[in-house]
């Protein structure tokens, strides 16, 4: 069985797709890929009456949000919690626009601690929604750090306000005419998280608490753009959520909506291998099995660097090539466990995720992981079966525990391609190291209760999610990759647009926003304005049931 497929697409399903293609359907838009940005724009366009064609190389939709089955368990590939699901926020507005806001519902993770951080001194600090409470929690654990934390979060608050007020398109004249409104953004857009930590005088303990979730960014503090950090950290500060019926239902329901509209189809195991261009128009999309799909508009959810190579870089004018020269984000090794005969809530797990640190300096932790040293790793632990009362991901009497840590793509790819048995041994070695840590510090007899386990390395991400180098977010989230020259939706072809994390922003909230923004550009239906999103205090009151 080829690595890109789980074998879910039957010969009969292939035949149905072939028959559909032979009927010569007419489409208004062809979309390459079915990641979150693609699903968002496709659902909106289908609802607006466009005939949508989606081409997916895998046999399941969703990209990193897809769920795969192992035995009787269903695991989401890489997503564990999201933000942007409060009143008036992006995910909510998308579902309202699609008429699904009463169907796809979300559970709030514990607002008093959506993330728990286990520090090297074995103190546990909860990351709550609301920066005042965060400062109080850190002060309680490490006296004397509260004011430095407040100094840090005030910078984050100012950045959030200014980012929300940015024009959709930034022109050169905005700098002299509007620059005074974006002083914090201008002053910090080239700074790393570590630089801002140092500026605020944060202790090693406070830094560890605030950057323990660096696995959410796949980037160490010394390299991570403070803007990227703020986008995610301030998003979760306003509410962390998990789909009530799990990510599996979330994706399936959106895909059902798309294909329920007349003339809208999805072709699975349909790899795009070529593009036909003529002048300033994209004429057609060619697939590995010789099919050619045509439409007045073409959107690309697949990785822009990879697709530019297929289109032909020589066809891109020089000014259009530079944004395509980004370096990819780092990645992780993930362990998916099904357990029976214990309740993980008895061991400190619940409606939160847990980050376990073996040393204070996350920069050093990442450096060691990139050099195949997992003696003192960061460890992420998620319990999706505890985030919602709804079943559907595991059999009765069982629960799911997912583990993750940083890993070097180049190392695992070389091992995978040169000595597959050695690759499997190393993957198992890291898996066992993570389970050892859980047994040592959290669940002493975990192995006795594991009924299913499977590990995914960076090469697994590449094979199953078509993420070059197993990347997590498109570009590495450094200041250089988040500047004014960052890739946008437009291309040299008037009817061809990028629509992915690399051309917008990463994460479910970011890619949903990317799809929404492109829909608004294509149709003129401007149903969402980030400047009208409720403020943080309003969202925090909603989280705590205060209005």
CA distance 34 to 500: 10
Rounded to the nearest integer, the mean pLDDT of the chain is 94
Ranking 176-180, 461-465, 508-512 by mean pLDDT, the lowest is: 176-180
- Cα–Cα distance list, 82 to 134, 219, 236, 319 (Å): 19, 18, 8, 35
> Per-residue pLDDT tens for 129-185?
999 999 999 999 999 999 999 999 999 999 999 988 876 655 444 444 455 577 899
- Cα–Cα distance list, 274 to 125, 291, 307, 425 (Å): 51, 10, 9, 37
Phi, psi dihedrals of residue 444, rounded to the nearest 5°: -65, -30
**Is the dihedral angle over the CA atoms 61, 65, 70, 71 positive or is it negative?**
negative
> Per-residue pLDDT tens for 386-440?
999 999 999 999 999 999 999 999 999 999 999 999 999 999 999 999 999 999 9
In sequence order, which residues have a C-beta less than 8 Å from that of residue 12 and are 6 or more positions away?
A: none
Of 445, 500, 218, the C-alpha closest to 333 is 218
Of 430, 258, 415, the C-alpha closest to 332 is 430
Collapse the DSSP code of 123 into the 3-class scheme (helix H, G, I; strand E, B; otherwise coil) and give the result: coil
Query: Do strands 378-382 and 353-357 pair parallel, antiparallel, or not at all (unpaired)?
Result: antiparallel
> Which residue is it, tokens 């950290």?
233
> Per-residue pLDDT tens for 325-371?
999 999 999 999 999 999 999 999 999 999 999 999 999 999 999 99
Q: Which DSSP state fits 534? A: P
Vertex 214: Cα angle to 63 and 242 (nearest 5): 50
- Cα–Cα distance list, 375 to 204, 330, 413, 429 (Å): 20, 19, 21, 11
Average confidence (pLDDT) over 472-497? 92
Average confidence (pLDDT) over 267-274? 96
Both structure tokens of 427: 């993957």
CA distance 361 to 251: 37
| Amino acid 169: pLDDT | 56
Of 181, 178, 138, 130, the C-alpha closest to 156 is 130
> Per-residue pLDDT tens for 15-33?
999 999 999 999 999 999 9
Average confidence (pLDDT) over 200-226? 97
The answer to whether 163 and 194 have CB atoms below 8 angstroms apart is no
| Amino acid 477: pLDDT | 95
> Per-residue pLDDT tens for 35-88?
999 999 999 999 999 999 999 999 999 999 999 999 999 999 999 999 999 999
pLDDT at 522 over 80: yes
| Amino acid 180: pLDDT | 57
Beta bridge partners of 265: 53
pLDDT at 320 over 80: yes
Task: Please count the residues of the chain.
Answer: 547
Vertex 489: Cα angle to 484 and 492 (nearest 5): 95
| Amino acid 4: pLDDT | 47
Question: Where does the pLDDT of residue 476 fall: very low under 50, low under 70, confident under 90, or very high at 90 and above?
Answer: very high
Q: Which DSSP state fits 445? A: T
Average confidence (pLDDT) over 362-385? 98
CA distance 208 to 189: 22
Is pTM, for the whole model, over 0.75? yes
Residue 374 CA to chain centroid, in angstroms?
24
CA distance 540 to 237: 8
Of 259, 225, 313, 209, the C-alpha closest to 51 is 259
pLDDT at 283 over 70: yes
| Amino acid 86: pLDDT | 96
The end-to-end CA distance of the chain, in Å, is: 53
Q: Which DSSP state fits 351? A: S
Collapse the DSSP code of 529 into the 3-class scheme (helix H, G, I; strand E, B; otherwise coil) and give the result: coil
| Amino acid 1: pLDDT | 33
| Amino acid 7: pLDDT | 63
Q: State the burial class of residue 396 (Cβ atoms within 10 Å of its Cβ: 0-12, 13-18, 19+).
A: exposed
The answer to whether 277 and 307 have CB atoms below 8 angstroms apart is no
Question: Where does the pLDDT of residue 448 fall: very low under 50, low under 70, confident under 90, or very high at 90 and above?
Answer: very high
CATH topology of domain 21-105+245-324+477-532: FAD/NAD(P)-binding domain (3.50.50)
Both structure tokens of 538: 């309003």
Residue 41 CA to chain centroid, in angstroms?
17
Average confidence (pLDDT) over 361-382? 98
Radius of gyration of the chain (CA): 23
Phi, psi dihedrals of residue 300, rounded to the nearest 5°: -120, 110
pLDDT at 284 over 70: yes
């Amino acid at each position: 069985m080829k690595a890109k497929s789980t074998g879910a697409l039957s010969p009969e399903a292939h035949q149905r797709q072939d028959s559909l293609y032979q009927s010569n359907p007419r489409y208004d838009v062809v979309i390459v890929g079915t990641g979150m940005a693609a699903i968002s724009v496709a659902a909106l366009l289908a609802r607006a009456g466009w005939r949508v064609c989606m081409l997916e190389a895998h046999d399941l939709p969703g990209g990193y949000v897809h769920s795969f089955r192992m035995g009787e368990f269903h695991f989401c590939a890489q997503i564990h919690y999201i933000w942007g699901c409060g009143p008036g926020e992006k995910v909510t507005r998308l579902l309202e626009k699609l008429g699904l806001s009463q169907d796809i519902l979300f559970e709030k993770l514990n607002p008093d601690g959506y993330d728990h951080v286990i520090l090297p001194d074995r103190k546990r600090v909860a990351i709550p929604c609301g920066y005042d409470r965060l400062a109080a929690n850190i002060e309680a654990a490490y006296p004397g750090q509260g004011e430095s934390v407040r100094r840090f979060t005030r910078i984050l608050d100012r950045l959030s306000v200014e980012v929300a007020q940015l024009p959709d398109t930034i022109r050169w004249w905005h700098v002299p005419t509007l620059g005074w409104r974006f002083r914090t953004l201008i002053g910090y857009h080239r700074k790393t998280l570590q630089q801002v930590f140092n500026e605020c005088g944060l202790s090693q303990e406070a830094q560890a608490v605030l950057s323990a979730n660096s696995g959410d960014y796949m980037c160490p503090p010394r390299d991570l753009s403070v803007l990227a950090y703020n986008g995610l950290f301030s998003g979760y500060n306003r509410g962390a959520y998990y789909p009530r019926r799990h990510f599996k239902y979330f994706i399936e329901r959106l895909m059902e909506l798309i294909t329920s509209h007349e003339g809208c189809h999805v072709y699975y195991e349909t790899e795009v291998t070529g593009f036909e261009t003529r002048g300033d128009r994209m004429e057609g999309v060619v697939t590995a099995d010789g099919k050619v799909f045509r439409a007045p508009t073409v959107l690309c959810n697949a990785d822009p660097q990879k697709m530019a190579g297929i289109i032909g870089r020589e066809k891109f004018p020089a000014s259009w090539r530079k944004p395509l020269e980004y370096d990819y984000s780092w990645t992780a090794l993930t362990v998916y466990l099904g357990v029976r005969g214990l309740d993980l809530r008895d061991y400190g797990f619940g409606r939160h995720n847990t980050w376990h640190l073996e040393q204070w300096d996350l920069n050093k932790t990442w450096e060691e992981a990139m050099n195949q040293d997992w003696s003192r790793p960061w460890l992420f632990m998620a319990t999706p079966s505890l985030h919602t009362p709804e079943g559907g991901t595991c059999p009765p009497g069982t629960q799911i525990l997912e583990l993750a840590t940083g890993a070097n793509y180049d190392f695992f790819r070389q091992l995978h391609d040169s000595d597959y048995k050695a690759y499997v041994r190393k993957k198992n070695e890291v898996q066992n190291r993570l389970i050892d840590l859980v047994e040592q510090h959290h669940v002493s007899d975990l192995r006795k209760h594991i009924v299913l386990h499977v590990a995914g390395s960076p090469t697994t991400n590449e094979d199953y999610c078509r993420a070059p180098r197993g990347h997590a977010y498109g570009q590495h989230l450094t200041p250089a990759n988040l500047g004014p020259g960052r890739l946008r939706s437009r291309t040299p072809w008037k009817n061809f647009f990028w629509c992915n994390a690399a051309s917008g922003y990463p994460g479910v909230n970011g890619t949903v926003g990317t799809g929404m923004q492109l829909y608004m550009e294509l149709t003129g239906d401007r149903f969402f304005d980030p400047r009208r999103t409720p403020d943080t205090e309003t969202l925090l009151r909603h989280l705590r049931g205060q209005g």
